[in-house]
Structures are given as structure tokens and as C-alpha cells.
């Protein structure tokens, strides 16, 4: 068993487990203040799986203040509107974004390939502080922090430990031993080059089609060169949650080949398909101890039906960095309690709303579906999204704040 060479130095820095979007956003915010940190990541290389990510203004404003504006301009797509249709092509609702979004909320609405966002976040900090091939096996609380036991036998100490290690978080087990909850749904995910699709695929839109038992979302990424899609379907069994389980493109055609518009075009042009079994967990009332806390999916894994998973992880990171660096005379326990008080109510509400959206989006054709469509049309105003998009987070650690 190898023990850290300088345990006191380890205790003085922020220890982050997980180099996903939330963990790297936290590392970037800490780097902006000169706060020492180390990130431990179980993967053996920098490679982010998945396809597209929708970034709303509540996450884009702090990312821009951290200096990611040019990278997001280069790799992302500025979305002009969000359109909702029925599976037969009937229009339901349209929410203008573009300039109005920037005017109301100080930032655009963007879509980006997850790998490009991951690379941009890595650029904010010191890559040498990200330790790859570091799979955490267990955590032991101590009076002044935590001891981390890794799969290779290494033992580290931490004065402040942040679990950003996803829905299957090892750090979360210190606070609560619960299992992910299977939703009964799965998502087919993939990318299709725009040149394989009709000209309308090049429009800077987030498109959503609703049908009985499922829905289909697509939008451009990679500077507009590819279309990222996510197609939600019932899944009768509960396999292990994975972003990257391979799937047969023929299954996507069977499920969506008869839908109208770009849906069938995308389904028939997919070469590589992945399936993701959708899990979440019930909201926590408490996710911190005196020296340990959680962030992102480790704290509040949510179904993707409000497109807020990555955005809430970024919000967490900014608020946590602010709490850890703003008042150095307070104790670590007080700073983590402040962070928890800021984040738990907001993320719990979004978790619950995301769960409720599954049934709402998948109504069979009929009276309930028509009432839903009318409600969505009335609520399509961009101003109705102020609760999500206008939220401010972590300003005290950001350049120019």
C-alpha cells in the first residue's frame, strides 16, 4: 500500500474525484483563483463518450467568464430556435432563441459535441493535476478529512473531497447507500453527418418530435458539421446504466422509421448507434459532511428531459468554487454547508420536473395529448424559462465579476 508522499500538502488542496464536465468545470474555477487542486479520474486517457450537449445561458455565462467563449464559438452552434412537433409532423410549439436569448439572459443557447466541451474544460486548468488511471475503490472519513483507497493500492488523504464521479459515485456511498432507479426508458444516441441529410438539417435548431411512448431530439454540433440525436423509447429491462452500449441501427429504424420529417432521414442514415439505459436517483436532502461533498450526477443524477444535467453540474462547480474560496476564515464545514444550501433546493426541483416530463412527453394520441400540445404552445415564450436561464451562480470566482 502506497501512502501519499506529503499528506499535509494533500490536505491543503481540493481533491476532486471524476474528470467529467462537472469535475473539470470545478477545476477550471479553482484554477482561476489560484486554489490548488488534484483531479483523480479512473479512465486511462482523455476521451469523453456520448454525443451532443445542450448548453443554456445559466451555464454559458459563467463558462464565458472563465474564458471559454472562443472555444464555444468555434466548436458550438448558436441555436436560433427550439421547435416541437408531433410524430406526424404537426407543429406544436416554437421558442425563439438567438438574439432574444442573449438580450434577455446575457448569453446564447448553444449545442456542442460532448468531446469538444470536455477538451475546452481541460484547457482551463493544468492537465498535470488530472491523474488518470486512478479508480477509487472506497472512501473513509477522518476527523480532518478523508482517506481515499484506489484500485492500484494507493492511499491518499484529502482535507476537502469532492465526489464528481457520476451516477455510480463511490464518494456518494459515504453519505447514502442507494441504488440508481431505472426509469423504464432507454435512449438511442448517435451522430449523422449533415451532408447525408436534407438541407433543413443545416438549420441552427433544436428539434423535438413527440409520439406515443417516445420522443426524438436532434440538433447540430461540431460547428454544424454533424447532427446529434437522442431517441427515447420504452426499455422493458433494466441493464447496467451506460452511455456507450452498442445498439443495432435497425432497431432505430423500426422504432422511428415511420415518423415524419428529419426523424426518418436520420434513422435511415445512422451507421454507429449507442444505447443508454436511463437511470436517476431520488433527490438528497443532504449531500455534504464536514469535509466531503458531491457535485453533478453524483449528487443529483436526473433524467435528460429538461436538458439540464450538464448545465446543473456546471452551476454546482461554480457555486462550490465560490463557497470554498470566498470566505477563507470560515471552516470547511461551514463552506460546504453553504454550498449545499445553495444547490439542493434548485437541483431537487429540476430532478423532479425531469422525471415528470417522461410521461408528459410520451402521451398517446388523444384528448390528453391535445391538452398537452395546447399547454406547450401557450408556454413556449422564452421568458417562461427565466427560472432556469436567468439563474446566477459562482460570480465571486469569475473574471470580471
Q: What is the mean pLDDT of each run of 10 residues along the chain (401 residues)?
A: 53 90 97 95 77 96 94 95 96 96 97 95 93 96 96 96 96 91 93 97 97 95 96 83 82 95 96 91 92 97 95 97 87 95 95 87 94 94 95 64 42
Q: Are 164 and 23 in contact (CB under 8 A)?
A: yes
Kindly state whether residue 124 falls inside one of the protein's structural domains: yes
Determine the Cα–Cα distance for residues 25 and 316; give it in Å rounded to an integer: 9
Residue linked to cell 467529467: 20
Question: What's the pLDDT score for residue 82?
Answer: 98
Prediction pTM value: 0.94
Going by C-beta distance under 8 Å and a sequence separation of 6 or more, which residues neighbour residue 370? Answer: none
Determine the Cα–Cα distance for residues 305 and 22; give it in Å rounded to an integer: 19
Question: What's the pLDDT score for residue 400?
Answer: 41
Going by C-beta distance under 8 Å and a sequence separation of 6 or more, which residues neighbour residue 308? Answer: 56, 302, 350, 354, 388
Determine the Cα–Cα distance for residues 251 and 254; give it in Å rounded to an integer: 5
Determine the Cα–Cα distance for residues 368 and 360; give it in Å rounded to an integer: 9
Kindly state whether residue 189 falls inside one of the protein's structural domains: no
How many folded domains does the chain comprise? 1
Kindly state whether residue 26 falls inside one of the protein's structural domains: yes
Edge to edge, what strands does the sheet with 37-40 contain?
A: 130-131, 37-40, 14-17, 160-163, 292-294
Domain that holds residue 94: 2-180+281-397
Question: What's the pLDDT score for residue 25?
Answer: 97
Kindly state whether residue 139 falls inside one of the protein's structural domains: yes
Question: What's the pLDDT score for residue 9?
Answer: 62
Kindly state whether residue 103 falls inside one of the protein's structural domains: yes
Kindly state whether residue 86 falls inside one of the protein's structural domains: yes
Reply yes or no on whether 219 is catalytic: yes
40, 109, 188, 219: the active-site residue:
219
Mode of pairing for the β-strands spanning 81-86 and 91-96:
antiparallel
Kindly state whether residue 83 falls inside one of the protein's structural domains: yes
Q: Are 305 and 354 in contact (CB under 8 A)?
A: yes
Residue linked to cell 482551463: 124
Question: What's the pLDDT score for residue 278?
Answer: 92
Helices 114-122 and 21-33 meet at what angle, rounded to 10? 20
Q: Are 86 and 36 in contact (CB under 8 A)?
A: no
Q: Which residues pair with 16 in a beta bridge?
A: 39, 162
Burial class (CB in 10 A: 0-12, 13-18, 19+), 79: buried
Q: CATH number for the domain including 74?
A: 3.50.50.60
Question: What's the pLDDT score for residue 401?
Answer: 42
Q: Are 190 and 184 in contact (CB under 8 A)?
A: no
Kindly state whether residue 87 falls inside one of the protein's structural domains: yes
Amino acid at each position: 500500500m502506497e501512502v501519499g508522499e506529503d499528506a499535509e500538502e494533500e490536505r491543503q488542496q481540493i481533491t476532486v474525484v471524476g474528470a467529467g464536465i462537472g469535475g473539470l468545470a470545478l477545476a477550471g474555477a479553482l484554477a482561476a483563483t489560484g486554489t490548488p487542486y488534484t483531479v483523480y479520474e479512473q479512465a486511462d486517457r482523455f476521451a469523453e463518450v456520448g454525443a451532443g450537449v445542450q448548453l443554456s445561458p445559466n451555464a454559458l455565462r459563467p463558462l464565458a467568464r472563465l474564458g471559454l467563449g472562443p472555444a464555444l464559438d468555434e466548436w458550438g452552434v448558436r441555436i436560433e430556435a427550439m421547435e416541437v412537433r408531433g410524430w406526424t409532423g404537426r407543429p406544436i410549439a416554437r421558442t425563439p432563441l438567438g438574439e432574444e436569448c442573449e438580450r434577455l439572459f446575457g448569453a446564447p443557447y448553444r449545442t456542442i459535441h460532448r468531446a469538444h466541451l470536455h477538451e475546452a474544460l481541460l484547457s482551463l486548468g493544468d492537465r498535470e493535476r488530472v491523474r488518470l488511471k486512478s479508480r477509487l475503490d472506497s472512501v473513509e472519513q477522518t476527523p480532518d478529512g478523508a482517506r481515499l483507497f484506489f484500485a492500484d493500492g494507493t492511499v491518499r488523504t484529502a482535507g476537502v473531497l469532492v465526489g464528481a464521479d457520476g451516477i455510480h459515485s463511490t464518494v456518494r456511498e459515504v453519505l447514502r447507500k442507494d441504488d440508481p432507479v431505472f426509469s423504464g426508458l432507454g435512449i438511442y444516441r448517435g451522430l449523422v453527418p449533415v451532408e447525408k441529410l436534407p438541407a433543413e438539417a443545416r438549420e441552427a435548431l433544436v428539434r423535438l418530435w413527440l409520439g406515443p411512448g417516445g420522443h426524438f431530439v436532434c440538433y447540430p454540433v461540431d460547428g454544424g458539421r454533424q447532427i446529434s440525436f437522442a431517441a427515447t423509447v420504452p426499455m422493458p429491462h433494466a441493464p447496467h446504466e451506460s452511455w456507450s452500449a452498442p445498439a443495432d441501427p435497425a432497431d432505430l429504424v423500426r422504432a422511428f422509421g415511420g415518423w415524419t420529417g428529419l426523424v426518418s432521414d436520420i434513422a435511415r442514415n445512422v451507421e454507429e448507434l449507442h444505447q443508454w439505459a436511463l437511470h436517476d436517483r431520488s433527490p438528497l436532502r443532504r449531500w455534504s459532511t464536514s469535509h466531503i461533498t458531491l457535485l453533478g450526477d453524483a449528487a443529483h443524477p436526473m433524467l435528460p428531459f429538461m436538458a439540464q444535467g450538464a448545465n446543473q453540474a456546471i452551476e454546482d462547480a461554480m457555486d462550490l468554487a465560490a463557497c470554498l474560496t470566498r470566505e477563507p476564515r470560515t471552516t470547511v464545514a461551514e463552506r460546504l454547508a453553504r454550498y449545499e444550501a445553495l444547490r439542493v433546493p434548485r437541483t431537487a426541483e429540476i430532478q423532479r420536473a425531469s422525471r415528470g416530463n417522461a410521461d408528459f412527453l410520451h402521451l398517446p394520441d388523444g384528448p390528453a395529448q391535445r391538452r398537452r400540445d395546447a399547454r406547450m404552445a401557450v408556454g413556449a415564450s422564452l421568458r417562461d424559462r427565466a427560472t432556469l436561464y436567468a439563474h446566477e451562480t459562482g460570480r465571486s470566482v469569475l473574471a470580471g465579476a
